[in-house]
Amino acid sequence: MSEQPAIRAGLPWGPADDEIQPEIRWRVTWQMFCANKGAVIGLVLLSLIILMGLIGPMVYSGDPFAIVAQPFLEPGGEIPLGTDYIGRDILIGIVYGAKPTLAIALSATFVTAVVGLTVGALAGFFGGKVDGFLMGVTEFFQVLPSLIFAMVVVAVFTPSLLTVVVAIGVTSWTSIARLTRAEFLKLREREFVMGARAVGARDRTIIVKVILPNALPPLIIAITLQIGLCILFEAALSFLGLSDPDVLTWGMMIGQSRDFFFQAWWTVSFPGLVILLTVLSIALIGDGLNDAYNPKLRGR
């Protein structure tokens, strides 16, 4: 028998909750997500931050590196959030820094997810020597100080957006890999996987189209939360001056003004507040996804 029935069967082989028709399942998931008020607030807040990055430069245009007034001009008037130590507009910096900050975080999260899912899926599915080797590699990266390792990667190569993304990605994938491995170990002996093997499905098909879709709920939550961690990671590297000097990010704004905090609090506080709100909104969304994907909570 060909493997096509195994491919077409997909999620119906999975746990009972996945036997619901996809459109009904997604509707129930969305309703559970919307029932979490914090998650809705987080989604609205993150949407506003993303819109600020996309259309903000058209509404409040300017050069984020341009000197527009005297240094340390207090917030208010024509420059709502004041100026920094050389007279640059803080609000323009926040608006123009949103897109590169979020782009770095999303790109680094993508690298983290790809590496973590691949390593974890192979280790959990094949087990034995493959599992031992891949988990040994995972443990090696896990014991390395993430920030210091990322600093070394960026310092060795020319600081740029690409090196920052790679540095964050190669130091942050271990938690995703371990979670993926645990899910695959739990699911690989289930009846729906045995059914896929019985009809002749290949290992790649079973991994990608049978086990992975059923393992996604906790992985989606973990990957969502990883975006917030990547924003903090990028801010730390920029704070230390290990980022592209030609691209303004929120972390760079804080790093360049850190010596003047007690003289001009707004130069650090406003970019820091935006980072806090962004990470908080992502955490709230992650909490809502946890409620939505957890079948034990659907009867509340």
Residue 229: alpha-carbon gap to chain centroid: 7
Q: Residue 209 is part of which domain span? A: 4-50+103-297
Q: Is residue 85 part of a domain?
A: no
Q: Is residue 245 part of a domain?
A: yes
The whole-angstrom separation of Cα 183 and Cα 215 is 6
The Cα diameter of the chain in Å comes to: 77
Band of residue 299 on the pLDDT scale cut at 50, 70, 90: very low
Smallest CA-to-CA distance from 264 within 96, 14, 86 is with 86
| Of 294 and 141, more confident | 141
Q: Is residue 57 part of a domain?
A: no
The pLDDT of residue 23 is 60
The pLDDT of residue 298 is 52
Q: Is residue 56 part of a domain?
A: no
The pLDDT of residue 17 is 46
Q: Is residue 240 part of a domain?
A: yes
Is 83 strand, coil or helix? Answer: strand
The whole-angstrom separation of Cα 104 and Cα 220 is 19
The 10s digit of each residue's pLDDT in 24-75 is 667 777 888 888 899 999 999 999 999 999 998 998 888 899 999 999 999 9
> Is residue 5's pLDDT more than 80?
no
The 10s digit of each residue's pLDDT in 275-290 is 999 999 999 998 888 8
Q: Is residue 94 part of a domain?
A: no
The 10s digit of each residue's pLDDT in 137-191 is 999 998 888 888 888 888 888 788 889 999 999 889 999 999 999 999 999 888 8
CB 104 within 8 A of CB 161: yes
The pTM of the whole model exceeds 0.75: yes
The pLDDT of residue 41 is 95
Burial annotation 20-51 (CB, 10 A radius, 16+ → b, else e): eeeeeeeeebeebbeebeebeebbebbeebbe
The whole-angstrom separation of Cα 215 and Cα 238 is 35
The pLDDT of residue 176 is 94
In total, how many domains does the chain have? 1
Q: Domain holding 37: CATH number?
A: 1.10.3720.10
